[in-house]
């Protein structure tokens, strides 16, 4: 009878049964990918997701990242009263805030998933498990992709938290030894070296399935890393940024999607512009975060003459996110610029109250309908993919790096005008001259092109406008007219919950 005490799960697997063949590796790799898209293994309505201590839908990777990058800026305000959600815009978040902890936990949980896979995917393990031939090649490629995904998650940790704890596949999972803390400079170097190290094993640009990372995804991430190098390490790396941006552009497999709006529709998987997406499906990849959040939250909670949820392919809106006047005012000509689509009827331009949905215009971006107007497969969960990296961003990164002295300014103008031309439906009105191409123009153009795509906070920090009084927006720092806040707000605090259990951690300054 003592043997009866060794009960094991009937249907769940263990490490041996999971990694016994190539399929198991593939399915754990799918888990690593899905970590960016869904909140847990049992669907969005399960009792718990991967991250505990936070509402499951709110714990989503893209939703958390988006909130940290957009709600903190002039591009977005939110109506809701969930704990901490107003703190983003008011810039009064604390180390005990549930959303800060959710963001941090989600990013580093993703790193743990990667580490767990990589520990099992060593050549020695693959060999001892008899995996050979095409299976071996595929898993080796997946291994490089997972290292890319880990670099991406660490990049977000670097950008948002600066000095996070650090572990790799060489650290035990399931042990009790807390990981050491890394520094921004050290982590920068690590991400850079990882991305370079995997280059040989990743698929050539455009040669992998859509949704899987290839060389171009890694190059884009390197370009982002270098563009912000001064913020991260104190040293500019603009030439390196331009090099990698150009390498993506010159790969020749990417082109701008002819109509801007189709980048954010259910069939954006056919876009030639998206370099690395987070893939959603209304039936098979469901979450209350991701594009489901981005679509519903930007639609009024009740339908009326200004708001028809069916136009977005959904059952109803959640009445959450709008923008401050700043974003609307970035567009000198909202009629000519295809990107300047806002719901203004029934809404006021000014945000008198963040918690009143009708205060603030609402950009029209993500929809659960296709480019031809067909509704998505589900009325709650959205089919549209989130473009994590896309070509227009790379063009603008190149242009900025060039203006900062790292590349060819004439080429920069060409790239910028490609982005402009698409925005203005190929009308020459949108084109700018070399004299108009300034760093300020780039920042504003990035906002016009990439608003609500989770880059704004990083951009404002790079331009030193995130915390300073040089650029204000409604309710920046929690006051109606906006105010400067401490430069320490450029980094988020490490959550008090992790500090309390990991004695190796030191809190970021100012918290």
Among 318, 331, 398, 475, binds other proteins (CB under 8 A): 318
CB of 327 to other proteins, least distance (A): 23
- Please report how many Cα atoms fall inside a 13 Å half-sphere around the Cα of residue 109, on the Cβ side: 21
CB of 232 to other proteins, least distance (A): 20
In the block, tokens 């859509």 appear at 210
CB of 313 to other proteins, least distance (A): 8
Whichever of 210 and 463 has its CB closer to other proteins, that residue is: 210
Q: Does 414 bind other proteins (CB under 8 A)?
A: no
- Alpha-helix runs per DSSP H in 358-438: 391-401, 409-423
Whichever of 242 and 321 has its CB closer to other proteins, that residue is: 321
CB of 199 to other proteins, least distance (A): 21
Whichever of 317 and 363 has its CB closer to other proteins, that residue is: 317
For 411, phi and psi rounded to 5 degrees? -65, -35
SS (H, E, C) 34-75: HCCCCCCCCCCCCCCCCCCCCCCHHHCHHHHHHHHHHHCCCC
Residues 238-267 close enough to bind other proteins by CB under 8 A: none
CB of 34 to other proteins, least distance (A): 4
Stretch that binds other proteins, among 8-16, 184-192, 233-241, 322-330 (CB under 8 A): 8-16
Whichever of 111 and 423 has its CB closer to other proteins, that residue is: 111
Measure CA of the first residue to CA of the last residue in the chain; give whole Å.
55
Residues 368 and 314: beta-carbon distance below 8 Å: yes
Work out whether strand 180-181 and strand 362-363 pair parallel, antiparallel, or are unpaired.
unpaired
Q: Does 417 bind other proteins (CB under 8 A)?
A: no
Q: Does 2 bind other proteins (CB under 8 A)?
A: yes
Q: Please give the C-alpha separations between residue 356 and each of 301, 328, 353, 359, in angstroms, as whole numbers.
A: 11, 18, 5, 6
In the block, tokens 């198991």 appear at 24
CB of 222 to other proteins, least distance (A): 23
Element (H, E) at 181: strand 180-181
Work out whether strand 274-278 and strand 386-390 pair parallel, antiparallel, or are unpaired.
antiparallel
Residues 277-306 close enough to bind other proteins by CB under 8 A: 279, 281, 283-286, 300-304
Mark residues 371-410: x for contact with other proteins by CB under 8 A, - for none: ----xxxxxx------------------------------
**How many angstroms from the chain centroid is the CA of residue 225?**
14
3-state secondary structure of 317: coil
Whichever of 55 and 201 has its CB closer to other proteins, that residue is: 55
Residues 121-180 close enough to bind other proteins by CB under 8 A: 165-167, 171-179
Judge residue 311's burial from the number of C-beta atoms within 10 Å of its C-beta, 0-12 exposed, 13-18 middle, 19 or more buried.
middle
Residues 381 and 289: beta-carbon distance below 8 Å: no
Whichever of 150 and 420 has its CB closer to other proteins, that residue is: 150
Element (H, E) at 409: helix 409-423
CB of 33 to other proteins, least distance (A): 5
Range list of β-strands (E), 333-444: 342-343, 362-363, 386-390
Residues 327-366 close enough to bind other proteins by CB under 8 A: 346, 353, 355-358
Give the C-alpha separation, 478 to 474, whole Å.
8
Residues 177-206 close enough to bind other proteins by CB under 8 A: 177-179
Neighbours of 478 (CB within 10 A): 15
Whichever of 311 and 448 has its CB closer to other proteins, that residue is: 311
Whichever of 165 and 407 has its CB closer to other proteins, that residue is: 165
How is residue 181 written in tokens? Answer: 């803390």
Residues 477-506 close enough to bind other proteins by CB under 8 A: 478, 496-503
Give the C-alpha separation, 426 to 420, whole Å.
8
Whichever of 4 and 335 has its CB closer to other proteins, that residue is: 4
Stretch that binds other proteins, among 186-194, 256-264, 311-319, 403-411 (CB under 8 A): 311-319
Give the C-alpha separation, 290 to 276, whole Å.
15
Among 22, 68, 111, 450, binds other proteins (CB under 8 A): 111
Residues 295 and 368: beta-carbon distance below 8 Å: yes
Q: Does 104 bind other proteins (CB under 8 A)?
A: yes
- Residue 369 forms beta bridges with which residues? 375
Residues 56-95 close enough to bind other proteins by CB under 8 A: 57-58, 80-87, 92-95
Number of chain positions touching other proteins (CB under 8 A) = 127
Among 22, 76, 108, 263, binds other proteins (CB under 8 A): 108
CB of 292 to other proteins, least distance (A): 12
Whichever of 36 and 424 has its CB closer to other proteins, that residue is: 36
Residues 22-41 close enough to bind other proteins by CB under 8 A: 24, 26-31, 33-34, 37-38, 40-41
Whichever of 355 and 438 has its CB closer to other proteins, that residue is: 355
Whichever of 176 and 372 has its CB closer to other proteins, that residue is: 176
Q: Does 54 bind other proteins (CB under 8 A)?
A: yes
Neighbours of 5 (CB within 10 A): 6
């Amino acid at each position: 009878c003592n043997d009866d005490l060794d009960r094991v799960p009937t249907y769940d697997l263990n490490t041996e049964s999971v990694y016994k063949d190539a399929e198991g590796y593939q399915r754990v790799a799918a888990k690593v990918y899905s970590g960016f898209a869904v909140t847990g293994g049992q669907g969005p309505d399960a009792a718990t997701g991967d991250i505990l201590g936070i509402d499951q839908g709110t714990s989503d990777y893209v939703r958390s990242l988006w909130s940290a990058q957009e709600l903190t800026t002039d591009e977005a305000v939110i109506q809701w009263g969930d704990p901490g959600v107003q703190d983003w815009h008011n810039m009064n978040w604390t180390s005990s805030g549930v959303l800060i902890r959710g963001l941090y936990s989600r990013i580093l949980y993703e790193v743990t998933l990667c580490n767990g896979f990589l520990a099992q995917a060593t050549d020695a393990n693959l060999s001892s498990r008899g995996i050979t031939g095409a299976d071996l090649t595929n898993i080796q490629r997946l291994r490089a992709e997972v290292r890319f995904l880990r670099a991406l998650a660490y990049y977000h940790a670097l950008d948002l938290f600066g000095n996070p704890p650090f572990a790799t596949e060489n650290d035990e999972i399931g042990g009790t030894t807390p990981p050491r803390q890394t520094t921004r400079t050290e982590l920068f170097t690590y991400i850079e070296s990882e991305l370079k190290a995997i280059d040989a094993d990743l698929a050539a640009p455009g040669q992998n399935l859509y949704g899987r990372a290839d060389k171009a995804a890694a190059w884009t991430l390197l370009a982002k890393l270098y563009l912000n190098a001064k913020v991260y390490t104190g040293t500019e790396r603009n030439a390196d940024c331009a090099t990698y941006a150009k390498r993506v552009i010159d790969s020749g497999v990417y082109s701008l999607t002819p109509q801007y709006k189709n980048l954010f529709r259910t069939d954006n998987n056919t876009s030639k512009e998206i370099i690395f997406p987070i893939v959603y499906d209304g039936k098979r990849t469901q979450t209350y975060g991701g594009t489901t959040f981005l679509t519903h939250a930007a639609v009024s909670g009740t339908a009326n003459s200004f708001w028809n949820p069916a136009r977005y392919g959904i059952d109803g809106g959640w009445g959450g996110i709008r923008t401050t006047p700043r974003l609307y005012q970035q567009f000198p000509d909202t009629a000519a610029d295809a990107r300047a689509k806002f719901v203004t009827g029934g809404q006021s331009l000014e945000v008198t109250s963040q918690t009143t949905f009708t205060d603030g215009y609402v950009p029209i971006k993500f929809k659960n309908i296709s480019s031809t107007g067909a509704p998505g497969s589900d009325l709650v969960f959205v089919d549209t993919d989130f473009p994590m990296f896309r070509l227009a961003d790379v063009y603008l990164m190149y242009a900025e790096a060039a203006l900062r002295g790292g590349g060819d300014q004439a080429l920069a103008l060409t790239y910028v005008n490609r982005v402009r031309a698409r925005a203005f439906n190929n009308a020459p009105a949108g084109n700018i001259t070399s004299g108009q191409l300034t760093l300020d123009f780039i920042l504003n153009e990035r906002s016009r092109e990439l608003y609500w795509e989770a880059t704004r906070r990083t951009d404002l920090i790079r331009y030193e406008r995130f915390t300073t009084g040089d650029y204000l927006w409604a309710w920046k720092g929690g006051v109606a007219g906006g105010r400067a806040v401490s430069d320490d707000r450029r980094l988020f605090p490490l959550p008090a919950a992790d500090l309390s259990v990991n004695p190796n951690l030191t809190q970021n300054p100012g918290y």
